[in-house]
Structure 1
Amino acid sequence: MGAPATRALRAADVHSLEQLTAWPRADLAALHGVGPIALDRLTAALAELGMAFAPER
């Protein structure tokens, strides 16, 4: 994952994959710096651990 996505997640106080499970994918996509490649990589990382993003609201 690139530096812009990493900075965006840190600015949103997201520092672990577990914390991502509280976020819907669309909300993460709305963060400046988090694009489709980062979202795909995060989705894959979560899936490897049997986790997923929060359901859309």
Structure 2
Amino acid sequence: MIALPRLAAPAKRALTSKGVDSLDDLALYTRREVESWHGIGPNVIHVLQNELTKYHLAFKEEKPST
């Protein structure tokens, strides 16, 4: 389990409220899902994306609409 990076309190609360306690948990969600959570802004998404990449992880793939 890879720990989340240090984040501002609103972002930390948003992630915790969704049960996201690690980068492994975060990888279960799409970028769009995470962006929609209250407390998660563009800067936090950038930080999270960089951390996921650093550990060879990624946000869940979006399913193409049919």
Q: Under TM normalisation by the shorter chain, which class is it?
A: over 0.9
Higher helix share: 1
Residue identity in the other structure for 2:17 = A
Say how many residue pairs are matched. Answer: 57
TM-score by length of 1: 0.95
Match of 1:41 in 2: 47
Structure 1 runs (4+) deviating above 4 angstroms are none
Residue 24 (structure 1) shift: 0.1
Identity within the alignment, %: 35
- Structure number with the bigger relative contact order (C-alpha 8 A, sep ≥ 6) is 1
Q: 2:21 aligns with which of 15, 35, 38?
A: 15
Unaligned stretches of 5+ in structure 2?
1-6
Unaligned stretches of 5+ in structure 1?
none
TM-score by length of 2: 0.83
CA RMSD of aligned residues (A): 0.7
